Amino acid sequence: MDILAPATRKVLHVGCGAPGPHKLPAGFFPQEEWAEIRLDIDPAVAPDVVASITDMAAVADASVDAVWSSHNLEHLFPHEVPLALAEFRRVLRPDGFALMTMPDLQQIAALVAADRLTEAAYLSPMGPITPLDMLYGHNASLAQGNAFMGHRGGFTARSLEAALLAAGFPIVRVVRDSGYALWATAYMGGVRG
């Protein structure tokens, strides 16, 4: 082993869904630097860990360098969000971070106000996505019986930042993208030794 090569870091991919390429953001590549641990509530997607993001007891305290959460927090009721964020903090190492993305209710509200509730806002690998899908969950998946796809809450940039700060993350950055999504990075604040 090259003594200058970084040790493999671990990313806990919560709500991973079915395995496939491009499930992790570019920052988690090359794969020899990041080991993915897949966690999902649905055993049918064959995750490494079957658990809810509000109770990840199967994942040890301070055991991962990063948590990646793509479109999961909006599937929780608002009172469950602090539980999930506490779990993210619990499993992160002191110098770790959580990276997450989810629909931006403020941008979606502008589409609803423009009477575009059922018009396609963008195309995804799952097909056209409407403001209605972003608000309540992917309609086609829900119609097929996938209740995990239902949305129970949501965020604006300001409310997401407030939730992350209230959860104890001392450094938080939330940005909007042009695809009706929020991206947040929440740092534990420790320094790697």
**Digit-coded pLDDT (tens) for 81-126:** 999 999 999 999 999 999 999 999 999 999 999 999 999 999 988 8
Task: Give the type of residue at 155.
Answer: F
Band (pLDDT 50/70/90 cuts) for residue 193 is very low
Whose CA is closest to 166, among 68, 94, 83? 83
Interhelix angle 81-91/157-166, rounded to 10 degrees, is 60
pLDDT over threshold 50, residue 62: yes
Q: Which pLDDT value is given to residue 1?
A: 38
Q: What is the mean pLDDT of residues 157-181?
A: 96
More confident residue, 32 or 183: 183
H or E element that contains 107: helix 105-113
CA distance 182 to 105: 9
**Mean per-residue pLDDT, 125-152:** 92
CATH assignment of 9-103+153-187, among 3.40.50.150, 3.20.80.10, 3.40.50.300, 3.40.190.10: 3.40.50.150
> Over 50: is that where the pLDDT of 2 sits?
no
The pLDDT value recorded for residue 126 is 85
Q: Are strands 9-14 and 64-70 parallel, antiparallel or unpaired?
A: parallel
| Per-residue confidence band for 191, with pLDDT thresholds at 50, 70 and 90 | low
Q: Where are the domains of the chain?
A: 9-103+153-187
d(CA 28, CA 36): 9
The two tokens of residue 160 are 């997401």
* Both tokens assigned to 83: 């539980």
Tokens for 142, please give them: 């829900």
